[in-house]
A and B are shown apart, each in its own frame.
Chain A
Amino acid sequence: GAGVSQSPSNKVTEKGKDVELRCDPISGHTALYWYRQSLGQGLEFLIYFQGNSAPDKSGLPSDRFSAERTGGSVSTLTIQRTQQEDSAVYLCASSPPEREGYEQYFGPGTRLTVT
């Protein structure tokens, strides 16, 4: 079946502009995660959605970052007033109910470049 998809695959934006990144998880997966990966670095956790529970936003680096998940499926990560240090690959992952914390399915990522 279809995997996790993300759009756009690449985004170049000017400093100060807002951007929206989209993630379509695998159908039936209740958990959804956003991570950020800077060049040569590991994955930095941003936010976690689980079903209808309040999201865990503990990884969001500033109040310029926000995310929502509509209808328990598609998620949008919004970065307002982008800065050059926001340049990174943003990865989305989802997990089925019985595998939360055990296995994640990743999308290909969105490469964000802030000029």
Chain B
Amino acid sequence: SQQGEEDPQALSIQEGENATMNCSYKTSINNLQWYRQNSGRGLVHLILIRSNEREKHSGRLRVTLDTSKKSSSLLITASRAADTASYFCATGGSYIPTFGRGTSLIVHP
């Protein structure tokens, strides 16, 4: 079974808008990671947040983590057409990260 579940399953926005994706998980973790997958390609690691952190930034990405609610969010600000991809969260409690089904983001130019 998958540990992380992303929401929404699909998101369609206009270039310049912000995109927010959420991830919920079930068991305790020591870190949570976000990945991007462009169509037909492998996954690319975007950002990691540890269980003792609440917020992290990397460029136009902002990740939050609420361990009491077992949830995380990924915010992409000022989106670009090139941000069109699927985004996955992966929960790390051991050496084997567990992935959700992903959010498919489409950014219209």
Chain A residues close to B by CB (< 8 Å): 4, 31, 33, 35, 40-43, 45, 48, 50, 56, 91, 93, 100-109
Determine if B92 and A102 form an interchain contact, defined as CB atoms under 8 angstroms apart.
yes
Using Cβ atoms and an 8 Å threshold, which residues of chain B touch A105?
A: 45
Which of B48, B88, B96 contacts A56, CB < 8 Å?
A: B96
The 6 A-B residue pairs with the shortest CB-CB distance in the complex, in nearest-first order: A106-B42, A43-B99, A42-B101, A101-B95, A106-B43, A101-B92
Contact of B96 among A33, A106, A108, A109 (CB under 8 A): A33
Q: Is B71 an interface residue (CB 8 A)?
A: no
A4 to B42, CA, bound (A): 10
Counting contact residues on chain B (CB < 8 A from A), the size range is 20 to 34
Which residues from A are CB-within-8-Å of B42?
A: 4, 91, 93, 106-109
Chain B residues with Cβ under 8 A from A45's Cβ? 96, 98-99
B27 CB–A CB distance under 8 Å: no
Contact check: which of A35, A42, A102 meets B33 at CB < 8 Å?
A102
Which residues from 72 to 108 on chain B have a C-beta closer than 8 Å to any C-beta of chain A? 88, 90, 92, 94-102
**Inter-chain contact B2/A42, CB cutoff 8 Å:** yes
Is B48 touching A102 in the complex (CB atoms < 8 A)?
yes
Q: A42's contact among B44, B48, B88, by CB below 8 Å, is which?
A: B88
CB distance from A43 to the nearest CB of B (A): 4
The yes or no answer to B31 lying at the interface (CB within 8 A) is yes
CA distance A42 to B103 in the complex (A): 10
Q: Which of the listed residues A33, A45, A102 has the most CB atoms from chain B within 10 Å of its own CB? A: A102
State the CA gap A43–B97 with chains docked (Å).
Answer: 10
A104 touches B43 (CB 8 A): yes
Q: Is B99 within 8 A of A42, CB to CB?
A: yes
